[in-house]
Chains A and B, each alone.
Chain A
Amino acid sequence: MTELGLEIALLGAALAVGLAGIGSAIGVGIVGQSAAGLVTEDPDKFGQTLLLQALPGTQGIYGLLAGFIIMQQVGIIGGAPLNLTIAQGYAFFMAALPIAIVGLVSGIYQGRVSASAVGLVAKRPEELGKGIVYAVMVETYAVLALLASIMILFGIDLG
């Protein structure tokens, strides 16, 4: 008899990819609007603002990475799907939560910081680096969440 473990694990993968992706999409979207406003008046700022726009995109990548590891471990990719117990399924689900939740929120906030940095670049293009540093401070917490997710994932006992 098959248990529901596999489905629960996949729900975790879906959340990691989905929520972190939403965070990045919103974040990148906000910066894009702000950058388009600046570039309307000053087309030379395209390169600098593109860099700022890319920053909140990483959360989506982290989410995909976590989701990918789950899919691999449960055998969805590269092998036969495992028959997981419900407890094992929940372990994968829990592992997905840090990057899913933090990815969503930090993506949005990183977008807001980056959009503010677009204003900074408008006034002082030579200070782009400082704008990036502010945005990267938000990145820290997405990285920590990814780290937590991965540590849990590799600690799950599949025996």
Chain B
Amino acid sequence: MPSDDTIYAYAVGRTRALEKRLLEKSQIERMIEASSAEDVIKVLSESDYANALADLTDIYDFEKVLQSELQKSLELIKSISPKPELIALMALRYDVHNLKVIFKAKYLGIKSDLIVPAGTIAAPRLQSAVDEEDFRDLPDRLRKACEMITEGFPVSRDPQLIDINLDQALFEQLLHDAKRLNNAYMEGLFSRQVDLINLKTLVRVKRMGLDREFLKKALISGGFLAHDRLTVFIDEPLESLITGLSMSQYSELAAEGIRDWIDKGTASRLEKLADDYITGYLKKGKWSPFGVEPLIGYLWAKEIEIKNIRLLMVGKINKLPSEAIRERIRDVYI
């Protein structure tokens, strides 16, 4: 009898065609070797980005093109998916990003144009929600976090309150929804993302010399690595964290990424490896002929591609050597 999963037949068929238009390794390589940002744009003009770039008058406006491409992809996949609510989870992160920007503008007077259009709720509506302190439109856990911020911030005036509360609430919401929608694949994705964020937090907190109490507050729940397993490392050298993780699924990533962080004092290698790790996880579902996996994988691939283009453009504009750019370029999904 036909099982329920064939409802994705159309969406997966269409995603296969979309996947083919993602940038290939060789195109990325050509952009790494390009001599200027203009040359990067030239390579992109021969790709699926050609139309979007045709209107680009100033290369410093490339970010707008990337944002609108990301938004278009999200909307397209949402529109062809038989369960758009699953796809919407992939966009919730952008709502949280926008909320952070809006809260910080309101409370700290930080002006920024970092609002991204890819969220599930339009930015002006988020803005008025924050202005009027009325968060009814938000999912439960985010609403509670926003209420906590509006009540807590005027008292404590602690900017960390905004970031920590919202990040915590985001993943609680995502994991809750993935479970409610019965999707173990996405639960696995979010749990892994939580672990990777927690690992980065741990290293960062240690390097800043902050204490265990702060770490406990900053760790996000819902990952595979238990919090007490992580907090013990606060009083130990970072090397012991690498050994401590050697039996976990993050052993390679920790060995290379944290080592690099210790040696060079920058997280960029770990950030790259963390993204590659997620790409590796999502690739496992790529060939599922009927299911949401290829759709999620495609969206992630698009996000990574856009991240790569941003790295290339910023790198070329700042005249970084090709090697320095190549180190940070994320693995491609296809």
Q: Which residues of A contact B (CB under 8 A)?
A: 26, 30-31, 33-38, 40-42, 45, 108, 112, 115-116, 118-119, 122-123
Which of B6-14, B188-196, B237-245, B306-314 lies at the binding interface?
A: B6-14
| Chain B: minimal CB distance from A43 (Å) | 10
Interface on chain B toward A: helix, strand, loop, or mixed SS?
helix
Interface on chain A toward B: helix, strand, loop, or mixed SS?
helix
Choice from B1, B2, B6, B12 contacting A119 with Cβ under 8 Å: B12
Q: How far is the CA of A122 from the CA of B12 in the complex (A)?
A: 11
B1 touches A37 (CB 8 A): no
| Chain B: minimal CB distance from A137 (Å) | 16
| Chain A: minimal CB distance from B20 (Å) | 6
A35 touches B13 (CB 8 A): yes
Q: Is B303 an interface residue (CB 8 A)?
A: no
4 closest A-B pairs by beta carbon, nearest first, are A37-B13, A41-B17, A37-B14, A122-B16
Q: How far is the CA of A119 from the CA of B295 in the complex (A)?
A: 13
B2 touches A115 (CB 8 A): no
Residues in B whose Cβ lies below 8 Å from that of A123: 16, 19-20
B19 touches A37 (CB 8 A): no
Known: A115-B289, A115-B290. A40 touches B9 (CB 8 A): no
Choice from B2, B15, B20, B287 contacting A37 with Cβ under 8 Å: B15
Q: What are the interface flags for B13-47 relative to A under an 8 Å C-beta threshold, 1 for contact and 0 otherwise?
A: 11111111000000000000000000000000000
In the complex, what residue of chain B is closest to A33 when comparing beta carbons? B9
B20 touches A34 (CB 8 A): no
Q: Is B138 an interface residue (CB 8 A)?
A: no
Q: How far is the CA of A33 from the CA of B10 in the complex (A)?
A: 5
Q: Is B80 an interface residue (CB 8 A)?
A: yes
B2 touches A30 (CB 8 A): yes
Known: A108-B1, A123-B20. A38 touches B6 (CB 8 A): no
Residues in B whose Cβ lies below 8 Å from that of A26: 2
B2 touches A118 (CB 8 A): no
Residues in A whose Cβ lies below 8 Å from that of B18: 41
Residues in B whose Cβ lies below 8 Å from that of A112: 6, 289-290
B290 touches A38 (CB 8 A): no
In the complex, what residue of chain A is closest to B18 when comparing beta carbons? A41
Choice from A30, A40, A45, A118 contacting B6 with Cβ under 8 Å: A30
B277-294 at interface with A (beta carbon < 8 Å): 287, 289-290
Choice from B13, B19, B80 contacting A118 with Cβ under 8 Å: B13
Choice from A41, A108, A122 contacting B2 with Cβ under 8 Å: A108
